[in-house]
Amino acid sequence: MALATYALLCFGSLFSIVDPFAALPVFLALVGAQPPEAQRRTALRAAVTLLVLLLTFGLAGTLIFKFFGITLSAFKIAGGIVLFGLGLEMMRAKDSDLRSTEAERTEAETKEDVGVIPLGIPLLSGPGAIATTMVLVGKAEGPAQHAAIFMAIGAVALITFLVLRSAPVVARVLGRTGINLIGRIMGLILAALAMQFILDGIREAFPKIIG
């Protein structure tokens, strides 16, 4: 796969699964009443948490596979199934428990600092984002493509910070309908990506049966 194609795949995949626009309602519910400076600090902590977690799993992905004896093809199939379910829920404009459960959202309302939990983890960098990162790292060929996935993670984290920092303005411009529309488009992209992961995993697991 060409470097430019792989880089676009990484950015598009990660941006679709992180989907900072879907986090806007939760972000505003938790910190919307706080001063702008406090909202900016929370947005920064959430974005940094996203960056650190995905970079960690991206760097340690191969070691995790070896430690547990998991093949990349098996992880692609399992990750694809998880992402497909999340994509379907996004297309139905539903809050997925894969991102955060109702209990976690309720508990977060009593916390003073929500930037790390639940915004950074698991709302932005939940199981779906982690699985996508590890699959993409497994697909990388050579140092250039490995660098591309880490740059994509950085770009997504930066955009996430900018979106959350401007949450009141973005939410007012888009409205709930606009946010749901973006979520449905991201869900469709994510579902298609998930199916590609599953097909790639099956093809790699059974190369003699599926050419």
Q: Assess whether pLDDT exceeds 60 at residue 211.
A: no
| Residue 143 DSSP code | H
How far lies 116's CA from each of 83, 149, 204, in Å? 23, 23, 37
The model's pLDDT over 144-200, given as tens digits with 9 standing for 90+, comes to 999 999 999 999 999 999 999 999 999 899 888 898 898 899 889 889 989 998 998
pLDDT tops 70 at residue 112: no
Residue 33 has pLDDT above 90, yes or no: no
DSSP string, 50-80: HHHHHHHHHHHHHHHHHHHT--HHHHHHHHH
Query: pLDDT at position 95, please?
Result: 65
Distances (CA, A) of 62 to 58, 66, 86, 148: 8, 6, 24, 17
% of the chain exceeding 90 in pLDDT: 45
pLDDT class for 90, splitting at 50, 70, 90?
A: confident
Under the banding of pLDDT at 50, 70 and 90, the label for residue 52 is: very high
Instruction: Kindly give the interhelix angle for 36-68 and 24-31, rounded to the nearest 10 degrees.
Output: 130
What would the mean pLDDT of 122-131 be, rounded to a whole number? 89
